[in-house]
A and B are shown apart, each in its own frame.
Chain A
Amino acid sequence: MASAAADGRLDTFPRLLARNADTFGDKPAYREKEFGIWQSWTWAEARDEIEALAYGLLDMGLNEGDYVALIGRNRPHMYWSMVAAQMCGAVPVPIYQDSVGEEIAYVLDHCGARFVIAQDQEQVDKVIEVKDRLPALEEVIYLDKRGMRKYDHTHLRLFDLVQDEGRATRDKGEREMATRLAKQDGETTCVMLYTSGTTGRPKGVVLSNDNIIITSKNSAEFDHLVPGDDILAYLPMAWVGDFIFSVGQAYWTGFCVNCPESADTMMTDLREIGPSYYFAPPRIFETQLTTVMIRMEDAGKFKKWLFDRFMAHAKTVGPKLLDGEPVGAMDKLKYSLGNLLVYGPLKNTLGLSRIRVGYTAGEAIGPEIFDFYRSLGINLKQLYGQTEASVFITQQKDHEVRADTVGTPTPGVELRIDDSGEVFYRSPGVFVKYYKNDESTASTKDAEGWVATGDAGFIEPDTGHLRIIDRAKDVGKMASGALFAPKYVENKLKFYPNILEAVVFGAGRETCTAFINIDLTAVGNWAERNNIAYASYQELAGHPQVLEMIQSHIAETNESVAQDEMLSGCQIHRFLVLHKELDADDGELTRTRKVRRRIIEEKYDDLITALYDGAESVSTETEVTYEDGRKGSIKATLHIRDVKTVEARAPQAVAAE
């Protein structure tokens, strides 16, 4: 393996692994908390583990060009599996671990995976459940042997045993392995990731080594990432972001990937590791902020006073300090005092003390939330990207961070806005193709390599920052001809802690209406403080006082929407609070928790009708899917409320002319 690194080519992951193991072999590459203790593997140890697995897979008959599906939570072993598969010339295909059997069946069938590496019994069960429909599937390898003793092991193997076999048969396979490794280069397929699919079936995005490695290099250098950095790998492995951060950038830079003990302990583990490079979707930042605020509500008077006072100061001074703007000596002093008393301990509690670079993306983040973290001195930035671009399209430079833009193009990326306002990009990270779907490939990527993002946006003339308005296909016209941008309004609504999710309707209609999902944590706490009793989510969601509160939030939103001349038509006239949370298991959200508009429109057709026919309440029955795939239904009567709207100024002005 050393020879691969010797010629200086760093165009595949096995070669990067060899370089890392040779150059900083004794530095930690992976950590995982298990049995209450952080276990760690150095780069040299990681190489041994990965090679053992690779030889084991080779011995099992893994061929070049095969697809190896991976299902499980973030564990070092799962990351090793990816590189081990690559060593054998196979393509890793990570699958969302919370996918139900049906979704797994689709992906396994589509890529024709012969081998599946599953984390535990739960995942193995899902694969076995759909096995009969997958003629290509041959072997399942599992990591956690718990509960697996009684299974039929003819086509089922324990991960450790595959590694043992690999160590034993290494001599036999060495020549074959060397030949396969030598054949690989930058154009070899690195990974195939399935898009979450806001519409229709998921598509397999094929990304080459060059796509991933060049993008990782550019973005890592942009943020000056170094080998000593730490990240926490907790986002789904099937998501391109995790692949770039925990594999791409980690291998390029040589930093350490830390895996939490379980999904439930993520916050504790975050605090223990104190990552220096951190990514989280806005939802996580929102949840953390909500938790802090709820706890402050319950804190003693003095603590509350101290917190409020210093947070107010941080709001004015903190962002300026981060942006390198001049700040008065007195303000600086007060800020350091605040750091000692409030910000420091708070950051420590949040696990964000050591953050050098933090990113959020995927959805718009509320300006208040964004500013809260920045005012604490956390360098939180935004980036804009998608699977087809190997994540990075634009990102914010240090000192040029704003809540309402997504930054300037990542080095190597070109941007173009077409006449309809849709954003196009071209970059070294642009995907090779959609697997077995030339038609979609052609309609997404043109001959010159430009890719349509599907988002509508514009580049600010004076700063060069990109601003995203909405999904291009969601932007429509209302009956009056006014612009309809649902996401814009939904984001404003979601900035209220009490509102978890909002879906706005209005394309081709006279007025806009909305579905609201309440946030159970925030509203539940509010109910507790106000002595409002409730027995279930449904009951709380239908409580008149809750409706009143949501009504006032929407009225405020309307006022703010009315400020924007272009979008003042999008004010919400009527709304209802849904009796169940929108859920990916019911197909209402994608696995990355984005709203699937079309499906919601079909499923809740009766509710939308009621929103527009002036009814005061509507009875409905909704089918729900439980985690284990069983189905049930919920019946409810929902009340519909009208909201005060603000006289739109813009059309009047037009009429007056």
Chain B
Amino acid sequence: MLDLSPEGYVTEDGRKIGGVLMEMKNITLRFGGVTAIKDISFDIREGEIRAIIGPNGAGKSSMLNVISGFYVPQEGEVWFKGARRAQMKPYQVARQGIARTFQNIALFEGMSVLDNIMTGRLTHMKANIFDQAVWWGRAQVEETENREKVERIIDFLEIQNIRKTPVGRLPYGLKKRVELARALAAEPMLLLLDEPMAGMNVEEKEDMSRFILDVNDEFGTTIALIEHDMGVVMDLSDRVVVMDYGKKIGDGTPDEVRANQDVIDAYLGVAHD
């Protein structure tokens, strides 16, 4: 059992995890008569890889959308960096240091990989539209700075060979990687990954896992990910939240979660007597 003191804890492989970065307190989210999330609380610590898992329709994506500020829960509070987060637009959330990838890839298909990743730097650009239009003064300096940051990410994710390729021409696995690159370009404190391994073959999954671990290791980014491939999640994450029908049925280290009878029932099904 992990000793979850407020200052943080130490993982099995010796990484030091910090204090609470984000806390969800008694979140309930309803769409009309449907309750997608029912009174869920958990926290995300600085520097950890936190997974949210659950069978289809468990409410995982809704949870991620609450974290990212896209959905506003009817009940409950979201605390980020020690302060209660007021209702805000997604772009405001992005400015706070939260970036995400999407389950069904939301890239600009006609633009090159490089340009797509550059859009991730948008929150760091301050030049006005006129400077941008004639590429003058601040715009010029900013572009050079941002390009350098982007190139480091391209190098990090080993996509140099597709730098100038239009995204639409790329295979699925690479698109996923470009999406990750774009999210990283925002230099987020908290990175949200919505099913990063969905639809990938074993080799692509291994690559993606390695990149996620490396991102966490190299940049110290806190990562929250949703996945329904149990195997991958268990190897990757420090702590796991398990959801089923909008409720939290488990929370803890992968080993604890694996031993949890409710989780086993949710995944394998249980006989009704």
Contacts and interface: CB of A to CB of B under 8 A. Distances in A.
A268 B210 CA distance: 27
Contact of B217 (A37, A147, A265): A147
B223 interface: no
B161 A36 contact: no
Contact of A34 (B155, B158, B161): B155
A264 B160 contact: yes
A146 B13 CA distance: 18
B151 A149 contact: no
A150 B14 contact: yes
A262 interface: yes
Interface residues of A, number: 13
A264 B155 CA distance: 12
Contacts of A264: 160-161
A210 interface: no
B13 A150 contact: yes
A262 B162 CA distance: 11
The size bracket of the interface on B is: 10 to 19
A150 B217 contact: yes
Interface in B155-213: 155-156, 158, 160-161, 163, 210
A150 B147 CA distance: 29
Contacts of A36: 147, 151, 154, 160, 163
Interface string A231-252: 0000000000000000000000
B161 A262 contact: yes
A232 to B, nearest CB: 16
Interface string A409-426: 000000000000000000
B214 A262 contact: no
Interface string A250-277: 0000000000011011001000000000
A598 B154 CA distance: 44
A249 to B, nearest CB: 28
B156 A35 contact: no
A148 B156 CA distance: 13
Nearest to B14: A150
Is the contact region of chain B dominated by helix, strand, or loop, or is it mixed? helix
A175 B154 CA distance: 44
A37 B158 CA distance: 15
Nearest to B114: A36
Contact of B160 (A146, A149, A265): A265
A34 B158 CA distance: 11
B162 to A, nearest CB: 8
Contact of B161 (A35, A146, A268): A268
A36 B15 CA distance: 33
Nearest to A268: B161
Interface in A139-168: 146-147, 149-150
A260 to B, nearest CB: 9
A261 B158 CA distance: 10
B154 A146 contact: no
B154 A147 contact: no
B164 to A, nearest CB: 8
B152 A35 contact: yes
B148 interface: yes
Interface string A121-151: 0000000000000000000000000110110
B158 A262 contact: yes
B12 interface: no
Contacts of A34: 155
A34 B151 CA distance: 9
Nearest to B151: A35
B155 A35 contact: yes
B160 A147 contact: no
B3 interface: no
A261 B156 contact: no
A262 B160 contact: yes
Contacts of B218: 146-147, 149
Contacts of A146: 156, 214, 218
Interface in A411-448: none
A449 to B, nearest CB: 46
Name the residue in B156, B160, B163 with the highest tally of chain A Cβ atoms < 10 Å from its Cβ. Answer: B160
B161 A149 contact: no
Given A150-B217, A264-B160, 20 more contacts: A35-B148, A35-B151, A35-B152, A35-B154, A36-B147, A36-B154, A36-B160, A36-B163, A37-B151, A146-B156, A147-B210, A147-B214, A147-B217, A147-B218, A149-B217, A150-B13, A262-B160, A264-B161, A265-B160, A268-B161
Interface of B: 13-15, 147-148, 151-152, 154-156, 158, 160-161, 163, 210, 214, 217-218
9 contacts: A34-B155, A35-B151, A35-B154, A36-B147, A36-B154, A147-B214, A147-B217, A149-B217, A150-B14
